[in-house]
Amino acid sequence: MVAVFCFNQMKFERPTYLLNADICKTNIRTMAEKASRSGVIFRPHFKTHQSLIIGRWFREAGVTRITVSSLSAARYFANDGWNDITVAFPVNLRETQLVNELASRIRIGLLVEHPEVALKLEKDLLFPADIYIKIDTGYHRTGLGIDEMPVILRLAEIVRSSRMMSLKGLLTHAGNTYAAASKEEVKKVYVSCTGILNEVKKNLGDSGKELLLSYGDTPSCSIVEDFNNIDEIRPGNFIFYDLMQMIAGSCGFSQIAGIVICPVVAVHPSRNQAVLYGGAIHLSKDFLVVDGRRIYGQLVETDQNGWINLIPGAYLVSLSQEHGILEGPDEVISELHPGMTAGIIPVHSCLTANLLRGYQMTDGESGDYFPGK
Amino acid sequence: MVAVFCFNQMKFERPTYLLNADICKTNIRTMAEKASRSGVIFRPHFKTHQSLIIGRWFREAGVTRITVSSLSAARYFANDGWNDITVAFPVNLRETQLVNELASRIRIGLLVEHPEVALKLEKDLLFPADIYIKIDTGYHRTGLGIDEMPVILRLAEIVRSSRMMSLKGLLTHAGNTYAAASKEEVKKVYVSCTGILNEVKKNLGDSGKELLLSYGDTPSCSIVEDFNNIDEIRPGNFIFYDLMQMIAGSCGFSQIAGIVICPVVAVHPSRNQAVLYGGAIHLSKDFLVVDGRRIYGQLVETDQNGWINLIPGAYLVSLSQEHGILEGPDEVISELHPGMTAGIIPVHSCLTANLLRGYQMTDGESGDYFPGK
């Protein structure tokens, strides 16, 4: 029943993130077309793939503006010709030298949520930068809430009177869609969060009129069809998707663009388990709860062309540093032998990609990953 | 109350694993002396630090035999002059070329728990290798249980009649000590696991007589004083220790050899939180449950010399890719400002070290980390 994955030209000696470039490109096209239909700017987040090669697939699809999650990643992509980058993370004042280096040569967007930070930037910035005020629309991770309008107004004032900073927009990440139980709930979160964003803009009066409203997160951008009340979307995870997104309804199995190939190193039929070379340092300890237990990935059936089916009930149930414990029905585990490989859909592709730091494509090509510095 | 960490010569622009070399060396000496008092071989596990520089500190303390968790890490250390290495992970048959490369130039120890694997190795090995049979003494991750004596006997027979394989010992990792609730419980696990190991040896009769019994895990090796019924210990985490080990009673605060320095990028006094540049890709999503909630690290008080106190109630309560949410008492959060740094004891140092891939020492030196391939 379980087909062994056997692209013969690939050795798969160690845990490997195997990507199907066609699926990635379809995911890009689908999202780009949706943004275009809604008339919003498509500024994809590159934090998931962090790859120059994959970045170029976005460029081929007409993307010219991107989002990243760190200043050092901004430099990585700027060095590959990207010249309009938003760093969707509160400005790190310990890296103002890098901020200036970037601002000197590309259009850089920075997130600010603290007057102190704006005042410090005003002192230190040597080149122009776009500023977005980070708004907390319900996720409560970062940003200023609508109950903090006096701070938002003060921030807007500091930025507007600055030499180098231009107030460009209000930006939010609706990470609370990840906790949504259904597509309907995701849509509700979208309505609520974009509503708050619009209200903050209105509260800013004349000074808010020209501000762009920028909205993130893959669940919303995958499930909502019409982005009628915002100006920009910044989804990231959709390039690969993963088990978390699939279970949440953001994507179907056919949109899963990558799996992790793990060598089988031991089998224990008596406990319905196999041991994979594929642990916490390959897949990450992020988990989902399925039927009351933590799972770290799901086994897929594979053939010469790729991953063709989920295997029901076959999950990674435990990870240590290098070991992954795969548990599944008798008829699945009995097919596995040391020396084979197993294909796993990771729970959270962003963290898995960051751990594996490189890709193998199904056509044999390999892909880079941001080296981290 | 919270002192900002301020080694002035260090910039700490990004999340950084800061190590105190003196504490590391004391941890090495303490464990080496304990092994020596018990008359057991000290074969430390290098999977936590994965650093050539730190490896040399072990060499200076008289260590000549080491453990690693992957064949590629074995090559990394072999290239630095280590010539007696046990790879404490079931042999990966997809890397037999690397096994042979290593076996051609160093004394290599391999773990086998499956007759199929032993038969395949017998065919493929071109150079001698030490073989350890992996015994499951209660952790149920890998290895053969005492209820599988026929398989163990069969394995022993295959290895004993081999050209290149020498049956060297029985090896176990008592990972179940990590779930122990107290020091007493750790001691009980030790007694139970080493008891099983000795029983398997006895069951092997004459062919078991000269087998070495090898035992791992930091909690046991830290808490048990006398290793009277085994021949070798393989602790790894004790080089740094971490919050998990401290809470489990394996170490005290003074033995914590490293903290993660994270820039503060935002503060939200209204919700008793600060946002740190230090997320899942820096600290890992491994967590502890403290007072009913998940925590990913604890804040420490620091001065010019290092970390001097735990700060009660100040925990990382949530991590996303780059963000860490630090929550703590009013008087702590009110001291934090964007641009400062915060020192965090990580929950699980092995995974954190793997993510940060390099060290800064408190004396200004920097340290390498295994590049992963």
ipTM for this prediction: 0.96
**Inter-CA distances, B174 with A123, A147, A266, B267, B292, Å:** 56, 52, 18, 42, 26
Q: How far is A20 from chain B (nearest CA, A)?
A: 23
pLDDT tens for each residue of A86-96: 999 999 999 99
- Average pLDDT of the segment spanning B72-97: 98
Q: How far is A108 from chain B (nearest CA, A)?
A: 18
| Single-letter code of the amino acid located at B324 | G
What is the pLDDT of chain A when averaged over all its residues?
Answer: 94
Contacts of A328 (CB under 8 A, 6+ apart): A272, A274, A299, A311, A313, A314, A315
**Inter-CA distances, B119 with A336, B70, B97, B154, B160, Å:** 17, 21, 16, 11, 12
SS3 B158: helix
Stronger pLDDT, B175 or B16, i.e. the higher one: B16
CA-nearest residue to A47 within chain B is B321
State how far the Cα of A347 lies from the Cα of A349, in Å rounded to an integer: 6
Dihedral angle sign, alpha carbons of residues A276, A278, A283, A286: positive
- List chain B domain ranges: 22-240, 257-367
> Which of B70, B90, B140 is opposite residue A271, by nearest beta carbon?
B140
A278: left (phi over 0), alpha (psi -120 to 50) or beta: left
Structure tokens at A312: 């029901």
Sequence-ordered alpha helix ranges (H) in chain B: 21-38, 52-60, 71-78, 96-103, 115-124, 149-160, 183-203, 218-223, 243-248, 280-283, 330-333, 349-356
Which of A218, A321, A333, A336 to mutate to test binding with chain B, by most B CBs within 10 Å of its CB? A321
* The pLDDT of residue B177: 78
Chain A residue numbers touching B94 (CB-CB < 8 A): 11-14, 263, 339, 341
pLDDT tens for each residue of B204-247: 999 899 999 999 899 999 999 999 899 999 999 999 999 999 99
Q: Is the pLDDT of residue B10 over 90?
A: no
State how far the Cα of B214 lies from the Cα of A184, in Å rounded to an integer: 55
pLDDT band at A1 (very low <50, low <70, confident <90, very high): very low
Name the fold adopted by B22-240.
Answer: TIM Barrel (3.20.20)
Count other Cβ atoms within 10 Å, centred on residue A101. Answer: 18
Number of residues that make up chain A: 373
pLDDT tens for each residue of A17-40: 999 999 999 999 999 999 999 999
DSSP letters spanning A13-76 = -S-EEEE-HHHHHHHHHHHHHHHHHHT-EE--B-TTT--HHHHHHHHHTT---EEESSHHHHHH
CB within 8 Å: B321 and A113: no
State how far the Cα of A351 lies from the Cα of A357, in Å rounded to an integer: 10
CB within 8 Å: A339 and B271: no
Contact A290, A351 (CB under 8 A): no
Contact B35, B216 (CB under 8 A): no
| Single-letter code of the amino acid located at B45 | H
State percent of chain A over pLDDT 70. Answer: 98
Chain B residue numbers touching A14 (CB-CB < 8 A): 70, 72, 92, 94-95, 373
Please, what CATH class does the domain formed by A257-367 belong to?
mainly beta
| Cα A96–chain centre separation | 25
pLDDT tens for each residue of A275-300: 999 999 999 999 999 999 999 999 99
Same fold, A22-239 and A257-367: no
CB within 8 Å: A265 and B92: yes
pTM of the predicted model as reported, rounded to 2 decimal places: 0.96
> Which of A92, A267, A322 is opposite residue B70, by nearest beta carbon?
A322
- Average pLDDT of the segment spanning B19-39: 97
CB within 8 Å: B321 and A47: yes
Closest Cα to residue A112, out of A155, A51, A62?
Answer: A155
> For residue B147, with 0-12 CB atoms within 10 Å meaning exposed, 13-18 middle and 19 or more buried, which class applies?
exposed
Chain B residue numbers touching A98 (CB-CB < 8 A): 13
Q: How far is B233 from chain A (nearest CA, A)?
A: 19
Q: Is the pLDDT of residue A368 over 80?
A: yes
- Average pLDDT of the segment spanning B194-204: 97
Which of B91, B92, B119 to mutate to test binding with chain A, by most A CBs within 10 Å of its CB? B92
State how far the Cα of B2 lies from the Cα of B118, in Å rounded to an integer: 57
- Average pLDDT of the segment spanning B249-262: 97
Q: How far is A370 from chain B (nearest CA, A)?
A: 13
CB within 8 Å: B322 and A70: yes
Query: What's the CA dihedral at B152, B154, B158, B159 to 10 degrees?
Result: 20
* The pLDDT of residue B5: 54
Instruction: Tell me the longest C-alpha to C-alpha distance in chain B.
Output: 71
- Average pLDDT of the segment spanning A339-367: 96
Q: What CATH architecture applies to the domain A22-239?
A: Alpha-Beta Barrel (3.20)
Q: Which residue pairs, CB below 8 angstroms and at least 24 apart, start in B34-38?
A: B34/B221, B34/B225, B35/B227, B35/B233, B37/B226, B38/B226, B38/B227, B38/B228
- Residue A364's φ and ψ, nearest 5 degrees, are 100, -15
State how far the Cα of A114 lies from the Cα of A120, in Å rounded to an integer: 10
pLDDT tens for each residue of A102-125: 999 999 999 999 999 999 999 999
CB within 8 Å: A338 and B275: no
Structure tokens at B260: 């993660």
**Inter-CA distances, B108 with A71, B66, B101, B152, B164, Å:** 43, 10, 10, 21, 12
CB within 8 Å: B72 and A325: no
State how far the Cα of B59 lies from the Cα of B91, in Å rounded to an integer: 26
pLDDT band at A176 (very low <50, low <70, confident <90, very high): confident
Which of B10, B50, B317, B321 to mutate to test binding with chain A, by most A CBs within 10 Å of its CB? B321
What is the pLDDT of chain B when averaged over all its residues?
Answer: 94
| Single-letter code of the amino acid located at A195 | G
* The pLDDT of residue B1: 46
Query: What's the CA dihedral at A287, A292, A297, A300 to 10 degrees?
Result: -160
Beta bridge partners of A323: A277
State how far the Cα of A332 lies from the Cα of A340, in Å rounded to an integer: 13
Q: Is the pLDDT of residue A195 over 50?
A: yes
State how far the Cα of B209 lies from the Cα of B201, in Å rounded to an integer: 7
Give the position of tokens 């988990």: A287
> Which of A94, A271, A285 is opposite residue B13, by nearest beta carbon?
A94
Closest Cα to residue A346, out of A307, A299, A312, A311?
Answer: A299
Beta bridge partners of B130: B109, B166
